[in-house]
Each structure stands twice: as C-alpha cells, then as structure tokens.
Amino acid sequence: MEKYREQLKDKKRIVVKIGSSSLMHDKTGRLDLLKMERLVRVLVDIKNSGKDVILVSSGAIAVGKNTLGLVERPEDLSVKQACAAIGQAKLMMVYQKIFSEYNTIAAQILMTKNTITNQVSRTNAKNTFDELLKLGVIPVVNENDTVSTYEIEQVQKFGDNDRLSAIVASITGADLLILLSDIDGMYTDDPNKNHDARFISIVEKIDDKLMDMGKDSSGSGVGTGGMAAKIVAAQIANYSGADMVITNGNDVLNIHRIIAGEDVGTLFLQHENRDIDVLSLV
C-alpha cells in the first residue's frame, strides 16, 4: 500500500473538489473565510511547486440562500436557481480576492451536463482548461445552476459536484482527484450510525460489494453529495486514468499530506479503461 501512496508525489495535474458543507460554518451556514483562505493558500503553493491545479467548488446555492436570509435550503427549482445566481457571483468574488492576495489569477468555469455530453462543448471546455493552465491560472469550476435543471433536480444531479469533478479530471487528463468531504474517507458502513464500521484506506477495484457500501448519506444539511455519488466519481476518475482520494475537508492541509504520500483518506487506484464510456456514469 505504501508504494501506491508514494506514487501520489509524482502527480502533475490535480483536481480538488470541495463541497458546500466544507465551505460553511456549521451553526450559521455562512462562508468559513479562514478555511477558504487556507484552501487557496494550499492550492497556490501546489501550483508554485510546478503542478497544475483545478478547483471544483460547490456552495453557490448555499451562499445565495444565506444572502437572501432563507433559513432552509429551498425546494422550489426557480428559487434554487435564483439563489445560485446570487451566490455564484458572491462566491467567486471571495475566491478572486483571496487568490489575488497570493498573486494568482483565478478563472470561473461554469458547466452543465450538456457541456459534458455534447462533444463540441466538451472539446471547447478542454481547450479552455488547457489554455488557462498553460497561462498559470487556477480554474474554479461549478455547476451552472442558474440555467440548468439537470444538476439541481434530484434524479439527474451530479451529486454536490462529485461526478462533475471526476468528469473535469477526465476531460483535462488529470492524474489525481481529491474530494474534500465531511468525513475522513470510506467506511464499510455509515460511521454515523454503525460504530463498528471499519475505515477503508485503499480501494484497488470498485466492485458490486463496494457499491453496496456506498449508501447515499450525508451528515450535512448544506451539501447534497453522499458516498454513492463519490464512488461513481471514483469510477469515472479511475477509468480515465486518475487516482482519487476522499479525505476530510475540515483540514485542508490534508491535500498537502496526500500529495506528500501520507496515509490520509481513502485512495481509489486508477485502472484506466478507455473501452468504458465514462459519460454513461454521469
């Protein structure tokens, strides 16, 4: 197992996904600015070391909800889209400000399911990512919730950007995807309900048994992505040739620890398979 962790030191293009629950204060639902500053600092430091970095960030609807003074997460689709329109602008404003303090340019990329399933749009997106990374820019990606219904609706959502981040890793040729979650990694059962659940440090292959473990649960009232969505993200990333790690986003320094080869989070080993259409998993 140690050799697989050691190989993470050599990754060149890294996608980091952070969920809504990892960006907000638990009690108030407001942005945790200190955590965002630490996250940006870590990402810029990784970029400065010579690696490409892409951030996939949730949080637009949650920020918009809080801005409007709504107590509960809205259920009506049009209200969610309105919250996203307000929140995405505010969220990106905060990112731009913090990135600029570290002399780094951040670019916003909003994607929908149509961006991915349409070959022309997918190629255009890839070209944009490549050019931004060549220019030393850190792309900040989110779902375009203001115009899309695919990703917001329960049936066809990406899963709090888990699947989206894996697709971004796939189309950009990334070799590592890190999902910052509200848990330490994957367990044999939901650790919030079963105290006997065992932690899984490494997954060499995703099989039916593992899929059964991925019960769609999330300990947060802010995020929407459960473990089932993260396992599908792992499938997409692994089949595309990228390793994936799920780790706790409460400590963003876990990103550094992973890249340093430390035994942090659950590592899903890549097993590239170009015969499988990863878009069918979206």
pLDDT, residue 56, reads 97
The encoded tokens of residue 222 equal 């802010």
Query: 234 in helix, strand or coil?
Result: helix
Sign of the C-alpha dihedral computed for residues 151, 155, 156 and 157 taken in this order? positive
Predicted pLDDT of residue 197 = 85
When pLDDT is averaged across residues 193-217 and rounded to a whole number, the result is 80
- The answer to whether residues 216 and 229 touch, using CB atoms and an 8 Å cutoff, is yes
Q: Give residue-wise pLDDT tens across range 12-63.
A: 999 999 988 889 998 888 999 999 999 999 999 999 999 999 999 999 999 9
Give me the pLDDT at residue 75, please.
Answer: 83
* Cα 108 from Cα 142, distance rounded (Å): 8
pLDDT score at 71 = 83
How far is Cα 117 from Cα 97, in angstroms, rounded to an integer? 33
Choices 3.40.1160.10, 3.40.1080.10, 3.60.15.10, 3.40.1360.10: CATH for 2-281: 3.40.1160.10
Mean pLDDT of 119-129: 94
H helix or E strand, kind and range, residue 237:
helix 227-239
| Token pair recorded at residue 137 | 């820019």
| Average model confidence (pLDDT) across the chain | 87
The answer to whether 226 touches 155, Cβ cutoff 8 Å, is: no
Please tell me whether residue 17 adopts helix, strand or coil conformation. strand
Write down the pLDDT at residue 196.
86
**Are 168 and 54 in contact, with CB atoms under 8 Å apart?**
yes
Please provide the DSSP assignment of 125-169 as one string: HHHHHHHHHHTT-EEEEEE-TTT-STTTSTTT--TTTHHHHHHHH
Q: What percent of the chain has pLDDT over 70?
A: 86
Structure token pair of residue 34: 């200190």
Structure pTM? 0.90
Report the 10 Å Cβ neighbour count for 75.
Answer: 7
**Which tens digit of pLDDT belongs to each residue from 146-197?**
666 554 554 345 556 899 999 999 999 999 999 999 889 998 887 778 888 8
Question: What DSSP letter does each residue of 62-118 carry, written as one string?
Answer: HHHHHHHT-SSPP-SHHHHHHHHHHHHHHHHHHHHHHHHHTT--EEEEEE-HHHHHS
CA angle 240-233-190, nearest 5°? 145
Element (DSSP H or E) covering residue 187: strand 186-187
Asked whether residue 282 carries a pLDDT value surpassing 90, the answer given is no
Question: Are 151 and 88 a contacting pair, CB within 8 Å?
Answer: no
Which helix (H) or strand (E) element contains residue 259? helix 254-259
Confidence class for position 118, pLDDT limits 50, 70, 90: confident
pLDDT tier for residue 77 given thresholds of 50, 70 and 90: confident
Q: Are 215 and 183 in contact (CB under 8 A)?
A: no
Closest among 150, 148, 145 to 65, alpha carbons compared: 145
The domain limits of the chain are 2-281
pLDDT at 16: 98
Q: What angle do CA 232, 265, 180 make, to 5 degrees?
A: 65
pLDDT confidence tier of residue 224, bands split at 50, 70 and 90: very low
**Residues constituting the chain:** 282
Check pLDDT > 80 for residue 6: yes
